[in-house]
Each structure stands twice: as structure tokens, then as C-alpha cells.
Structure 1
Amino acid sequence: MAPARDPGGGSPEVTGAQKGRTSVISLKNSRIVLSGNGVRAGRRDGYRLTSPCWYEPGPTPEEMLKQQSDSATHFNRIKAGEESFLRFLEQFKDKIGKEGRWWTPAYNEDDPRGISCWTGLEMFIFVPPDTTPPQGITIRELTDIARAALTVPEPKVRLNPDAKSFVNLPTWVWLDGVGETRRTATATLPGVMSATVVATLKSIDIDPGTSGDRAKVAEDCGPAGKPYVKGGTYSCGVSYLRASLDQPREVYQLTVTTVWPVEVANPGVDVQYQPVRVGVTRDVPVGEVQSSVRDDGTTG
């Protein structure tokens, strides 16, 4: 079935972030609003919704009848047969004056399963107050959508020395221009419910790109490493114990990963998410310290 299927009245498309590496979630036929500094362009970690489609509470009986009676929206249906169109409207007229809302399906367009899941749902179902239908969205699922929309900045890694290091020389590691270390993503169904997740930069992990007999990592880094200070105390980085000449491309591949634990801001939502982990890799050429023998027999 074509994705153009619409229960009527027009349904907004909400995009959580950009395409490509920053693509997180695209909500189709959904009323959910995504907000927060964590839904701006950033790096995702591949979090995936359990179900890529769901029902959302939508129009009142009166609103739904008005939408479905709109001749412009349903021109093709009316053209096919006015009598059948009037019969089609009876199901909406029957609900006028009754408590409840029509629920309509939505889906995550970025999920390959999204369209097939969505087309397996009814175009609309009438639901009494204080009732959630099967596959109807819950606060837990809304929280999952906020989590899927969450991004964090791509780390910019600084090293000292930067261009080339040497055996046994400490290479300082830190993040440059971290910006906001607290990122939030909120998913809101207007007038119904809202869910917020918060990611906070806690630490960085350093992988020197080789085994422990060739490199020693200093891990007292805090949340963003320790910038180089002349005469300062080295506590975060890596000291390579052997040169990189025997490595592919004659460099070590140093990977620095930022770790952002995620918390749910809503009380009563019993879910624990894995931290967002985003890494970046730098090439580090490491040479031997050269020494020369002077005429007096000393080295330098």
C-alpha cells in the first residue's frame, strides 16, 4: 500500500535530525513534537524503537466527521460514488456526542520496517476515554521516541604533541569545544503527555590502538580530558612504548570515545538506557627518540 494513505485532515511530518550520520528518527503522520538541545544536528548511537509504528490519540468525534466530510480531501472517494461515500461517513456520525477520540496510526519513516508496520494498522479506531488500544502509544514508548531522537556532539579531539609523538613521551588527550555537556530530548503529544531524556557527558575512554605492552594509558581524564599545560601534571592520555614503524601506514590509530549516561526525567517511567557512546579516531605516528654521540663520548 502506498505511503500516501491518510485518515484525513492532514498529518504533520516531524523530523528529529538530519539524514546520514546524524539521522535519528522521522515521524510520519504523527502529532508528536520533538524538542530540546539534544535533537539538533549531532551524532546518534543507533538506538532503535522496539515497534516502528503505533496509534496516537487524534480528533474528537466532531473533528473527525468534519475532516472526513471535506470534499476536497476526499474528492476521489466522492467521485467513485457519492452513495458509498455517505455510507463511509456513517461510522463517524455514529460517534457524535460520545466520549472518546479517534486514534490514527503513525510510524518512523527512517526504520525500514516502518511502512509495512504502519499499513498493517487500521486507518482509524475509536477509543473511549482513559483507554489505550493495542499498539496505542504509552508514556514508555514516547520516552523511547525521545531516546531515539537524542544526539550528542561529535567529539573534537586535541593531542599534544599533535603532529607526531615519540616513544615514552606522554601524549596529552582532551576534547576541544565540547559545548553543552547536558543534552535533552523531549517528545510531546500536545495536550496528552510528554517524555524527556537527559544525557550528561561523564567521561572519555581512550583506546591507544594497540596492546598494553606497546602503550600505557593514563585515565584520570574527568569528563573531557585534560588540556595540555606547559609544566603541568600529565594525567590523561597515552604513552607509546614502541615506535609505530611496524604498524599499518606506520601509525597507531588512537580512538577517543565520549560516554554520555542517559536518564529519564519523568517519574514513574521504569526504564534504564545504555549510555550514548560516540568515538572519533586519530592517526598517531610515533618515532624513536634519536640520540647522537659527541666527541667527548657523551650522548645528546
Structure 2
Amino acid sequence: MNGSGGGEKQSVGAKATRARTVVVEGDKGNSGSLKPQNTSWEAPACWYEPRTSPKELKALMKKYEPDKPKKKKETNPLDPVDHDEIARKIQGQAQGFVGEYYQVDKYKNYNLDKQGKGMFWEGVPNPNKKNDPKANDCMKHAIWVDKGETPDVPNAISPKVLAEYAYDELPIPGTDVEISPKDKQTVNLKTWVWLDKAKFKPVTVRAELPGTGLWAETKAEPYALTLEPGTTDADTYPASGKCVIEHGSIGEPYTKGNSNQTPPCGLTYHRATQGGGSFPLKATLTWKVSWNGTDGAGDDLPEGSYDETRNITVREVQSIVR
């Protein structure tokens, strides 16, 4: 099926987030991303998080401090360019830029008297949305925040923000359904459709921000498969085309003993494909998503879906032996 659902160095400006994700449950290999069914919802493109301590800020300012000028000597217009002097000027400009970014003039001695009692918070982009224009929305300069408090800015890091970040990291397997007959379908013959129990299990991703105690686990569970035959000359079972989980599975594998029964999940084509053509059978698996995190926080997130399409050839045969 073809899927549609995919050593630290200090610097000034937008930095990579310290938030990290890890797959707790699920197979990261050969997986895609959920498409939220609520089209107005999306994970944040950026957020604010604690980044720099007073000691780190002082060290950063020291790093960009210009070297002391050497004793001046009489210069001659024909002398070579004084590259050391140029370097000192560039260093001085860099230090000034760093100081302006961190607004050091607002804090006495870099807030060293508050070391261990707070951090400078800064805006960082969601690593999954670096090219999203909204990733530039968190551009306020470094903000001092006392320990245990949260700055009054949109998308300050929280368990919910971490949970939404983890949403895009959920390893969703492709919706590769099992069908019987497997290869070519026959007009007016019921086709059974089901999902492999071993493959379609809940998946969970944990996101955390080291050093803060903030964490969240986002979990997705498959619960309904929707079939679209690709033609109006077909029936689906159930009639809505939506197969829900029953007894822990979606659909039921075909066996020779139930050839005359109606499948709990499946379809029947009433017209053959012509001229080597095919019908695009679209299978969309819907996942319920929820999260829990620090201090018992938790809630639901928008349901998501992942769909794949298989080209089905239907032939005109009066009878068939499976």
C-alpha cells in the first residue's frame, strides 16, 4: 500500500530544545506520523524552556570578552593591517550582542546571587517543525524566571506541551490490511478484511525535559478501520464501512469454514475492473490519543488517522475455489 500518513556549544539566538523523546511502546522502524482529524489542531511549533544559569551566562560573556590590547606602537600607513585589533573589535561586538540578547543590563552581576534559584528561559523551535514559519513565534529575549515559577508567555514548557510534542513522534505502523482473497477479487464474492493483532497495538512515546522533572507520555490506540472501495459499485461490511475493535481485534481472518458468512469487516465488488484497470481501496485506521504526565496531569488529544491505498483488480468469475 502507498501511505499518506512521516557535546553542547553555547550560541545566541534560537537553540535546539533540551526536550527529548523516547519510544516506550511500539516499533520505530517503518512507521509514519498521525494526521490529526481535528484539522485546526497542531503541535506547537516552538516553546519557551529554562536554558541558561547565571554562571553559564557569566562564562558566556567571558568567552566573548575581547583580549587586552597590546602596548601601542607608532604606526606607519605602510605597515600591514593590525589583525589583532580587528579581532578585538569583532569580539567586542559579539560580547555586546550576547549582552543585549540576555539583557544583562537588567540583572546585577548576571543574577549570580540567584544561582540555583532560577534560570534564564529562551524560545526554542520544535525539532519537527524547524521550517514552519510559526517556529519564529518564540523570539522573546532571555527571560529570568525564579525556580518553581512559569513565565507569562505562550507555550511555556509544561507536561501538556511535551505531550503535544510527543504526538508527532508516535511510531504509527502503515495501515497494511490483510484481505482474502489476497490477490484478485471476484465480482459478488465477499472479501474479508482484518488487521494483524501482532502489528496493530498501542504505541507510546515519552517526552521529558532533563533537570526540570517535567515529563509526559503520549499514547495512541487503534480503534476503528474505515474502508472506501474506490467505486460506488460495491458494498461494505458494516454498511458504514467503519470496522471497530471487537474482542481486541479489528475484523476477523478468513477461514474455509466461513465462506458463506458475511465478514464483520469487508466488502463486495459488484462490477469487474476493465482494461487492466483497478479500484483504489482506501483503508484508514483511526487512533485514539491520550496523555499523562507530571503530578498526575493528563487529558485526551485529537484523534489521528493513517491511511493507505491498495489497487484492487476485480474479475468476472462465476465461482472460485479459495
Which TM-score bucket, shorter chain as reference? 0.7 to 0.9
**Unmatched 5+ stretches in structure 1:** 1-6, 12-26, 292-300
Instruction: State the match for 1:44 in structure 2.
Output: 33
Instruction: State the match for 1:199 in structure 2.
Output: 220
Instruction: State the match for 2:78 in structure 1.
Output: none
Separation in 2, partners of 1:52, 1:77: 37
Matched letter for residue 22 of structure 2: S
In structure 2, the residue corresponding to 1:95 is in which secondary structure? helix
Instruction: State the match for 2:58 in structure 1.
Output: 65
Deviation at 1:270, TM superposition (A): 5.6
Instruction: State the match for 2:4 in structure 1.
Output: none
Instruction: State the match for 2:121 in structure 1.
Output: 103
Whether 2:95 is the aligned partner of 1:85: answer yes
Separation in 2, partners of 1:100, 1:39: 38
**Relative to 1, partners in 2 of residues 1:49 and 1:202: Cα closer, same or farther, differing over 3 Å?**
closer
Whether 2:151 is the aligned partner of 1:125: answer no
Matched letter for residue 96 of structure 1: L
- The answer (yes or no) to whether the contact 1:156–1:177 under 8 Å persists in 2 is no
Separation in 2, partners of 1:196, 1:10: 30
Separation in 2, partners of 1:30, 1:207: 41
**Relative to 1, partners in 2 of residues 1:38 and 1:114: Cα closer, same or farther, differing over 3 Å?**
farther
Instruction: State the match for 2:264 in structure 1.
Output: 236
Deviation at 1:33, TM superposition (A): 0.7
Separation in 2, partners of 1:273, 1:85: 44
Give matches, 1:152-171, under 5 Å.
Answer: 152-171=172-191
In structure 1, the residue corresponding to 2:137 is in which secondary structure? helix
Instruction: State the match for 1:208 in structure 2.
Output: 229
Separation in 2, partners of 1:39, 1:289: 41
Aligned residues: 264
In structure 2, the residue corresponding to 1:145 is in which secondary structure? helix
Matched letter for residue 34 of structure 2: D
Deviation at 1:154, TM superposition (A): 0.8
Q: Give CA-to-partner distance per residue, 1:130-175, whole Å, 9 cap, x none.
A: 2211132222222211223223111222221122111221111123
Give matches, 1:241-252, under 5 Å.
Answer: 241-245=269-273, 250-252=277-279
**Relative to 1, partners in 2 of residues 1:242 and 1:142: Cα closer, same or farther, differing over 3 Å?**
same
- The answer (yes or no) to whether the contact 2:290–2:298 under 8 Å persists in 1 is no
Moved over 6 A (4+): none
Matched letter for residue 57 of structure 1: P
- The answer (yes or no) to whether the contact 1:208–1:217 under 8 Å persists in 2 is no
**Relative to 1, partners in 2 of residues 1:283 and 1:85: Cα closer, same or farther, differing over 3 Å?**
closer
**Relative to 1, partners in 2 of residues 1:80 and 1:127: Cα closer, same or farther, differing over 3 Å?**
same
**Relative to 1, partners in 2 of residues 1:28 and 1:60: Cα closer, same or farther, differing over 3 Å?**
closer
Deviation at 1:237, TM superposition (A): 3.9
Instruction: State the match for 2:209 in structure 1.
Output: 189
**Relative to 1, partners in 2 of residues 1:38 and 1:112: Cα closer, same or farther, differing over 3 Å?**
farther
Separation in 2, partners of 1:40, 1:28: 26
**Relative to 1, partners in 2 of residues 1:239 and 1:181: Cα closer, same or farther, differing over 3 Å?**
closer
Separation in 1, partners of 2:300, 2:244: 27
Instruction: State the match for 1:20 in structure 2.
Output: none
**Unmatched 5+ stretches in structure 2:** 1-7, 68-85
Separation in 2, partners of 1:94, 1:220: 59
Separation in 1, partners of 2:42, 2:312: 38
Bigger radius of gyration among the two: 2
In structure 2, the residue corresponding to 1:202 is in which secondary structure? strand
